Structure 1
């Protein structure tokens, strides 16, 4: 059992870390070939389309994963309902942009990009089945292949000088390759059948999840849209530069952890003590890895952007620092939403998720025109500071995960990261190194300092962390 879990995790993180490398290569190329305005335009279009696809995906996928028994009627209902909803959305989006946009190029961009919804939704049933069976090898293969071919296509379009079309081409190719690989891996014929009772069951179970996902994704996608409305595509391009640097590791690692965590938590939902234990241990291990990573990104933001992406992106440095701190805070309660889904209590945080998201978007709308991308970054930070304690309150109500467990899981990584930050900030001012040598030395000092500080606070961490995926 322990070996199976380790193999599962290896495939999950092979996929996710492979995505980091491939995404970084693609993004560096885009940063060199595209202007902030072109990157911003492509980002706004894809963000709008992905927001719709994410809502649909959340309604169907997680409820399918949670079902005790997945039958053919569930599969056919979910698949064909997703296809029909996607086709209707494509038509509505295309007609809307025709009515409201005078630009033929923009009309075509939005219409073509909206096809991504169909490819995304067709994959949900296959992904849910593979998550249930822990077939993360297939999931990793389809994602990595999609990323390689999508990235190659996007880079080719950028080299042809087509600007924002590169971002759209990459997103479409990734989803198209993904669904093709999944269908080749599972050649079953899905009969055209939509069972009304099953659909209502899935919608009822998935609606709270979709609201939470909408709230979360409105921050990731919606902020770009609102910022584009108020501050223009240049501000979106700068903000997206900073956000992508954070999202590359965060999305890859978070998605990998959540793909594994939901079925594991769901299997233990009837055993509260074991569920509490694995949530606390998983938070401790994740914080050990991720909190210093994001604090480190904040410390080295200037070197990262100027050395890798160039001086034309210097405006994104303070945005990156704020977003990195936001991500570090988010690590402390990263499993909250997944745990609530696993015990079917996600409704407990719906109001908080929606209210804080509306507040953040309102801040962007109010201050975006005056302060640009930094207003969006600070809005996300404010939202994180508000939502984290509300998530812990929801967990406490649902399963008894209170503040004591929260602090026990996080205090070591937070204290060690703050010690690391203080020492790196002080040492960095003492030496005269420049360029990549300065960056490498900061990373080295930070890693060493963090390892020593954490080991002092928790001398037995290697032995205890080994049991996280075996003892529960």
Structure 2
């Protein structure tokens, strides 16, 4: 019961964070233009890369069976040392970084986020220990306070004319809120202090996951890094907005995968059972949910952009459409990390991130000079390469053949086709133009949902029993109310 409650609270935490981020995404898109957003994205990308390195000690704390002062203090000391060094380097390099991205007035941005880095050691270890104790209600409060404060500050300062620097001040304010709430809720704050007795263990245990996170973050941020190196902040802003919209279906599913798939895979591994069946079942479910969602995003890109960001962001539409189609070739993406982590295949986990990074880097840096659309089109090839690498990394661990993977995915092809029939008919009647009015966009969404549900049931997909169960629960809830109303 405690574990179920913890998982539910963790899901609430993640969904709340997503809703706050989406609100900020929409509000700042209405207030700021692509160039201002792009400069903020470039600065925040630098912060995110440093943050991955700084947070390496948290993995060590989460894996400790018991809380000890030497362990907490060693983790705090390592994190504080990384934070001070990184903040100092970022503070001093601020004028040079601002010059590289083509805006010398950006140096205060980098100096503000350098100060924000220093707050992490006073909050991240405490939150890591809360996670280890399954105190996800407290973790949710910390994250919601931080995200809410960040949202209020960024929107308020953007309205006041602070432009891209509003993101930096919001980051600092959000970090301060996180520290305050974490200290108020955590019983471990008295353990924070200086110690070096376990610094080797801290780096050894947290290093592999930290390195994977750094490579993954770098690869994910490559377009923004390339546009920054080319002094094209507007292109970085436009591309980042397209990427955010396309990633929404994946982020929604990642909550399910990280909270359900990883514990299930780890349990099967501990019990000595083979993982192949569970992974193939997960692929069937994930693809049946993701593929129709990506096609729907591609169809509704124009009204989505108008609704969320406004008319000056319409250049994002073709990028969203191309990236959404490219994501259809990434069915394994959500499974590679939890599978290799559950199997404790650290080397393969690192290779699964490092090989795509080596392929992506030259391609993205070359195509970025031709603009955002060319960069987006590159992913029509790069994502299949990433999928192939992921399959090769898990093939031996699972003992799974390519034909078995394709067999698990084949029912989802039928489901995706079923979900596309209604939208394609409406688009055909509209002359295959994507500038759909809101009413037509709603009709596309409804017909896609009906077609998806019908295809799930008709094809006997693995989701069919779950869908029938949900429909039965909905009917049981609604029927008494309908009788009362009549």
TM-score (norm 1): 0.87
Alpha-carbon distance between aligned partners in 2 of 1:292 and 1:388, rounded to the nearest angstrom: 19
Q: Give aligned pairs, total.
A: 462
Cα-to-partner distance string for 1:354-394 (whole Å, 9 max, x where unaligned): 23223223222112122x11233233443321122222222
**Alignment correspondent of 1:388:** 387
Q: 1:438 is matched with which residue?
A: 440
Quote how far apart the aligned CAs of 1:148 are. Answer: 1.6
Question: C-alpha offsets along residues 221-262 of structure 1, whole Å, 9 cap, x if unaligned?
Answer: 342121222260111111011112134453354256425655
Query: In 2, Cα distance between the equivalents of 1:460 and 1:260?
Result: 16
User: 2:92 corresponds to which residue?
Assistant: 95
Contact 1:211 1:354 in 2 (8 A): no
SS in 2 for 1:161: coil
2:374 is aligned to: 375
State which drifts further: 398-407 or 87-96.
398-407
Q: Aligned in 2, Cα 1:128/1:245: closer, same or farther, shift over 3 Å? A: same
Question: Do residues 428 (structure 1) and 427 (structure 2) align?
Answer: yes
Contact 1:65 1:132 in 2 (8 A): yes
Q: Hey, what does 2:254 align to over in structure 1?
A: 254
What is the aligned partner in structure 1 of residue 353 from structure 2?
353
Which residue of structure 2 lines up, in the alignment, with residue 411 of structure 1? 410
The 5 Å alignment of 1:333-348 reads 333-348=333-348
Paired with 1:121 and 1:407, the residues of 2 have a C-alpha distance of 45
The answer to whether residue 156 in structure 2 is matched with residue 156 in structure 1 is yes
- Per chain length, whose mean CA-contact separation is higher, i.e. which structure has more relative contact order (CA < 8 Å, sep 6+)? 1
Displacement of 1:402 after TM fit?
A: 5.1
Give the superposition deviation at 1:271.
2.6
3-state secondary structure, aligned to 2:191: coil
Distance in 1 separating the partners of 2:450 and 2:409: 20
Q: Name whichever of 409-418 and 360-369 sits farther off.
A: 409-418
Q: Distance in 1 between matches of 2:413 and 2:66?
A: 41
Larger Rg: 2
Structure 2 segments unaligned to the other structure (5+ residues): 470-486
For the Cα contact (< 8 Å) 2:11–2:259, is it kept in 1? no
- Is the deviation greater in 407-416 or in 238-247? 407-416
1:37 deviates by 0.4
Native 8 Å contact 1:65 1:131 kept in 2:
yes
Where does 1:105-254 land on structure 2 (aligned, <5 Å)?
Answer: 105-188=105-188, 189-196=190-197, 198-230=198-230, 232-251=232-251, 253-254=253-254
Change (3 A) 1:231 1:92: closer
C-alpha change, 1:275 and 1:132, in structure 2 (3 Å) is farther
Alignment CA distance shift 1:203-1:20 (3 Å): same
In terms of mean alpha carbon deviation, does 86-95 or 263-272 score higher?
Answer: 263-272
Alignment check: 8 A CA contact 1:235 1:373 kept: yes
When structure 1 is superposed on structure 2, of 264-273 and 173-182 the one drifting more is 264-273
Contact conserved, 1:20 with 1:249, CA < 8 A, in 2?
no
| Worse-matched range after superposition: 346-355 or 151-160 | 346-355
- Rounded Cα–Cα distance in structure 2 between residues aligned with 1:262 and 1:133: 18
Q: Distance in 1 between matches of 2:367 and 2:349?
A: 27
Task: Give the root-mean-square deviation of aligned CA atoms.
Answer: 2.9
Structure 2 distance, partners of 1:295, 1:313, is: 21
What CA deviation, in whole Å up to 9, does each residue of 1:86-111 have, x standing for no partner? 11100011112245656763221101
Residue segments in structure 1 that go unaligned for 5+ positions in a row: 468-472
Contact 2:76 2:194 in 1 (8 A): no
Q: Distance in 2 between matches of 1:54 and 1:292?
A: 32
Q: 1:209 to 1:425 in 2, by over 3 A?
A: same
From the superposition, tell whether residues 317 and 117 of structure 1 become closer, same or farther in structure 2 (CA, over 3 Å): same
Q: What is the distance in 2 between the residues matched to 1:227 and 1:46?
A: 14
CA distance in 2 between counterparts of 1:297 and 1:361 reads: 27
Residues 24 and 248 in structure 1, CA contact (< 8 A), matched pair in contact too: no
